[in-house]
Amino acid sequence: MDLMEYKARELFESFGIPVLPGVVLTSADEIGAAISAITFPSVVKAQVPMGKRGKAGGVVRVDDETALRAAVGRLIGMEIGGHVCKKVMVSPFATIERELYLSMILDRGSKTHLIIASGEGGMNIEETAEAHPELVYQIPINPQLGLIKPTAQYIADKLGFDKDKTDQLFSLLKALYKMVTERFLMQAEINPLILNGDGKLIALDAKVSVDDDALYKFPDLVAYREEVEDNPLVGEARAFNFLYVPCEPDGDVAVMSNGSGMLMSCIDLLAQYGRKTVAVIDLGGGATSERVAEAIRILTKTEGAKQLLINIFGGITRCDEIALGIECAVSEYGIGLPVVARFEGTNKQKGLEIVEGIENVRFADNLPLAVAAIVEGGGAR
């Protein structure tokens, strides 16, 4: 799960990482109560789960309350990269002497945490990494030693820091490593990390990705996820331990499968025929007929869904349970969308016998045939 900047900033602050003050607003009407905590000039930042907000017009400098009200009114409700802004964060305008880049990620290749640093931070860091990779430094952290001073010294030397800034960097890196390990973060990125006019290192922006499997350990992050979730079907599916993923808003094919690789295969094959996937559900393993019926019910509630493609490899998940779930969804929930089902594995013949009697369901013997059936008109017989 990716945290929006205001939540990532709160997390940074709780671990002692230097950040600027931030006031979160959901409308211009809240400015009056919050104005005493706001200094001018300030920067108003749209809170959406993506980067490059500045290039999209989602970051605005304001010099007085009138400009603040105008900026908040314009940004709230603004769509940026497919996300609607519902909150903004107001922070003091910072004097920037230098912009840098710093992140810490869980690197599966080296099976440890990796520090990535560059003296060329800011909006164009991706271009810098591509054109001048020698300016981006990657340093693994030995998990037995943890974050040690020589590691910070190496990075500081590469960035041209004096002793004071090296000490600041070491303190910041220690706090960052503590946060990443204790909160099970996949990534914590500061871009830019700035040197302000007083020579202090400050995290001016924050991007954090949390391991979804660890969220249950942190009630505050679970509450945050529920608060910011835009699509109610995501939460409804989560209650059954399904993974529901909205895809293309203008798609019309909903896809259900039991594995991310199989889902991607479905999406790719549909795309080859010029068809777009509107949403998918990953059932996981061992789904019962009742759970299959619930997954179909949830998936077919997706706005714009006109056909349903089901692609299951039955190992732990039995094919007859899948077929019974389809039958239940049609008979008890009144699912009338054209359905193309493909399943393979345990109790396949029993499953075939069940779906043969369902009017709006067509069986296909393999995935290419299933996608071709969708293109031809779905489950219509």
- Reference 93, options 16, 14, 199, 202; nearest CA is 202
**Cβ proximity of 47 and 4 under 8 Å:** yes
Select from 38, 47, 17 the least CA-distant residue to 93: 38
Radius of gyration of the chain (CA): 25
Q: Tell me if 88 sits within 8 A of 47, measured CB to CB.
A: yes
Q: What is the DSSP string of 110-169?
A: TTEEEEEEES--STTHHHHHHH-GGGEEEEEE-TTT-S-HHHHHHHHHHHT--HHHHHHH
189 flagged as catalytic? yes
**Catalytic residue, candidates 99, 189, 294, 327:** 189
Location of structure tokens 């990953």: 282
79 is a catalytic site residue = no
CA 61 to chain centre: 27
189: which strand partners?
103, 207
The catalytically annotated residue of 101, 177, 224, 244 is 101
* Nearest alpha carbon to residue 48 among 18, 4, 109: 4
Instruction: Please state, in angstroms and rounded to a whole number, the distance separating the CA atoms of residues 45 and 75.
Output: 8
Q: For the chain, first and last CA: distance in Å?
A: 42
The whole-angstrom separation of Cα 370 and Cα 266 is 9
Closest CA to 342 of 360, 368, 316: 368
Query: Which residues are catalytic, by number?
Result: 101, 189
